[in-house]
Chains A and B, each alone.
Chain A
Amino acid sequence: MPTIEFEGKQIEVDEEGYLQNLDDWSEGLAKYMAEQDGIELTDEHWEIINFLRDYYNKYQIAPMIKILVKEIKKTMGADKGNTKYLYQLFPDGPAKQACRYAGLPKPTGCV
C-alpha cells in the first residue's frame, strides 16, 4: 500500500494518491498534497474543497460536476460558474484533483 509522509505520520493512499481513510484528512494535508503538485491553495480553491467536503458528508459521494458548477455560480458569480474556471483552479480536473485534496474517494463505474 503506497503511503505519503506528513507531519511524521505515514498516511495510506491508493495508487493515485487518494486517501484510503477519510479520517486522515486535515487542512494541512490538503495544502501539502497540493504543494506536491506545485499548487498553492488559494481562497478560491478552498471554496471548492470545502463545498466538496460538506457535500460528501451529506451524500457519501462527490457531487455531480453540474452541481458543483451551479454551486460556484451561486456563491462566486456567473463568470466563475463554469467548468473552465474549475479547470483553471484544478488543471487535472475538478472531479479528480479537487476530490483528492478534499480527501474524497474517486467515483467508479460507468463514469
Chain B
Amino acid sequence: MAKAKKPPKPEELAKIDYSPPETGWMDTPAVFKPGTFCYGARPKYLEEVGFPNPREWSSADEDWKLPENWKEIVLEGLGDRLKKYRSFHLFMDICVRCGACADKCHFFIGSGDPKNMPVLRAELMRSVYRKYFTTGGKLLGRHAGARDLTYDVFKEWWYYFYQCTECRRCSVFCPYGIDTAEITMMARELVNLLGCNTDWIAGPVANCYRKGNHLGLEPHTIQSNIEFMVDDIEEITGIRVEPTFNRKGAEILFVTPSGDLFGDPGTYTCMGYLMLFHELGLDYTWSTYASEGGNFGFFTSMEMAKRLNYKIYAEAKRLGVKWILGGECGHMWRIVHQYMDTWNGPADFLEVPVSPITGTRFDNARATKMVHVVEFLADLIRHGKVNLDPSRNDHLKVTFHDSCNTSRGMGIFEEPRYVIRHVCNHFYEMPENTIREKTFCCGSGSGLNAGENMELRMRGGLPRANAVKYVNDRYGVNMLANICAIDRAALTTLMQYWVPDVDVCGVHELVGNALVMKGEKKRTMDLRLEPLPGMEEEEEEEE
C-alpha cells in the first residue's frame, strides 16, 4: 500500500529552481508529483452529502472515472457561474498580465513552478473561458490565448487549484483587485461537479453534515473532551470551571472549530476560553450540534458551505440565545463576515451583540450577530475588566501570525496584538511585508492540511517560516501565536520542519496563562501542564 511520502530534508527543499521550463505553459503538461497533491474523495463521503459521481478512484491514476459527458458538465457549470457571479466574470476578463502578483504567492516562492504564479493559475481557467465564452477565443483560438478543455487540462486545473490556499495575498497586490481565491473557488466547484474532491476535504464535510463538526465528534465525546480539559484546569488553578451544553435560555452561544476540542495545541486555546468565560461569569453555552466554527464545505461549493453554516443560526434560534460568540478560527470568519448574512440570514431573532460585562454594543456585528472572541476580549481589557499577569508568559518571546482569513478577510489586525501585548511582555513583529494584510499563508489552508501532500505544504509554508526564522534569529522568538485552528495544526508541523525551536499556540492559551482568577492557587504549571519557568524563583525572592 502507498504510504504518504515524506518531504525531502529542509536543506534540499530550500534549493528552489526558479528557471521556467523550456516549453510554453500550454505545452507543458502538469506532472503529478507525489507529496504535492491529495488523495481523491472516497465515495461514501460524497454519497453522504449527495455530491455527484461517487466512485472508487485515485487521483494518482490515469483514469479518474469521469462520466461520459464530463466536458459538457464542466462547461455548463462554468457558464452558470459566469452568469451568477459578476465578480468571477470580471476576473476572467480584466487581467492585463502586469505580473504584480507573480512573486506574491507562497506556493510560487516555495516551488518555483510558474503555474503557481497567481496570474498563470488563473490563466489555466481563463484560457478555457476564452475558448468557449468569448468571440475572440472562438475565432482565433490559441492566438487569442484560448485552448480546448481536454482531460489533461481538467487534471491540470485539479492539480493547481488544490495548490492554492485561497489566502488572497495576490489580490492585495493586484492593481485591478482580482481575487484569485474566487477563481480557485469556482474551479473547485467545477471539479466537484464530477466528484473530484479531495478526501481530506470531503471527509470533514460529510462528518460536519452528519454530526455537526469536521472531526465527527459525537455529543458525549465533545462533553467528555471538555470535561477532560476542565480537570486539567482544576489541576493548574484549583478552580473547577463549569461549562454548560445545549442550555436553553443562555445569553450567548459559543461556537469554535472542533480542532480546539481535539488536537493540541488547539486544546490549550480551548482551556483559555473556558477559563476566561468562567472568570467573567459569562452566561454562555456550548452546543454539541453547532459544534463547528469552520466550514470545509466552503472548499467544495457555496451551496455546501451554506448547508453546513445553517446549523449555527438554527441552534441559536432553538436555544433562544441573544447573540453568538465565535472562537479563534480562520475561514469561519471569512464566511461569517462575508457570506453568512446573505446565505442564512437575516438573523432577526437575535439581538445586536452587547457585552454583558462592559456594555459595549458591537455594531460592527449587527448583521450577523456574531462577535469574534479576540474582539470581545480586547474590549474587556480596554475597560479593565480582566486581571492579567503577563509575567507568567515571560519565558516566551512571542510573534503573531495574521491568519489570512481574519486579516485580509475581515481586517482584524489590532485586536489580537492588543490582547497579546497585555498578556505577554515580549512581543516582536515579523517583517512588515509578511504581516497584517500582507501576511504569508501557513501553506495548508483551504483544506490542504492533509498528510500526503506534505512536500507541498512545507514549500508553501516556507515564506511564513522564513519570516519566523528572522525573528527567531534576531530576537530569540520561541512562540508563534495565531487565531486559527488550521494554523495551530499546520504551523506546528511547519515549525518542526523549518524552525524547530519555535512552538505554536492560540492567543487564548497565552490569555489562560496570564489570567488571574479569583481564588486560584499559585500557578506553577502552564496550560500544557508543564512547569512555569521563573515562578518558583520569584516566590523565593519575595519571601
**Chain A residues packing against B (C-beta within 8 Å):** 1-2, 4, 13-17, 59-61, 64-67, 70, 96, 107-111
**Max chain B CB contacts within 10 Å: which of A14, A107, A110?**
A110
14 pairs, A vs B, C-beta closer than 8 Å: A15-B452, A59-B220, A61-B215, A61-B216, A61-B221, A67-B225, A109-B204, A109-B213, A109-B294, A110-B258, A110-B488, A111-B215, A111-B259, A111-B263
Q: Pick the 4 closest A-B CB pairs, nearest first.
A: A109-B214, A110-B259, A110-B485, A111-B263
Q: A59-B224, A108-B203, A108-B215 are in contact. Are A64 and B2 (CB under 8 A)?
A: no
Annotate B327-349 by CB proximity to A: 1 below 8 A, 0 otherwise. Answer: 00100000000000000000000
Name the distance in Å between A96's Cβ and chain B's nearest Cβ.
8
CB under 8 Å from chain A, chain B span 189-226: 199-200, 203-204, 207, 213-218, 220-221, 224-225
Q: How large is the interface on B (under 10, 10 to 19, 20 to 34, 35 or more residues)?
A: 35 or more
Main SS of the interface on chain A? loop
Asked if B315 CB lies within 8 Å of chain A CBs, one says no
In the complex, the answer to whether B200 meets A108 with C-beta atoms within 8 Å is: yes
Residue in A16, A66, A70, A110 whose beta carbon sits within 8 Å of that of B294 in the complex: A110
Name the distance in Å between B148's Cβ and chain A's nearest Cβ.
31
In the complex, the answer to whether A60 meets B258 with C-beta atoms within 8 Å is: no
Contacts between chains A and B (CB distance < 8 A), count: 91
In the complex, the answer to whether A14 meets B204 with C-beta atoms within 8 Å is: no
In the complex, the answer to whether A108 meets B207 with C-beta atoms within 8 Å is: yes
Residue in A17, A66, A108 whose beta carbon sits within 8 Å of that of B3 in the complex: A17
Chain B residues whose C-beta falls within 8 Å of the C-beta of A13 in the assembled complex: 1
In the complex, the answer to whether B221 meets A110 with C-beta atoms within 8 Å is: no
**Max chain B CB contacts within 10 Å: which of A4, A13, A15, A16?**
A15
Residue in B204, B228, B485 whose beta carbon sits within 8 Å of that of A67 in the complex: B228
Annotate B442-459 by CB proximity to A: 1 below 8 A, 0 otherwise. Answer: 000000010110000000
Complexed CA–CA distance, A110 and B4 (Å): 18
In the complex, the answer to whether B264 meets A109 with C-beta atoms within 8 Å is: no
In the complex, the answer to whether B451 meets A16 with C-beta atoms within 8 Å is: yes
Name the distance in Å between B218's Cβ and chain A's nearest Cβ.
6
Complexed CA–CA distance, A97 and B42 (Å): 21
In the complex, the answer to whether B42 meets A109 with C-beta atoms within 8 Å is: no
Chain B residues whose C-beta falls within 8 Å of the C-beta of A65 in the assembled complex: 263-264
Using CB atoms, name the residue of chain A closest to B490: A110
Asked if B267 CB lies within 8 Å of chain A CBs, one says yes
Complexed CA–CA distance, A107 and B267 (Å): 15
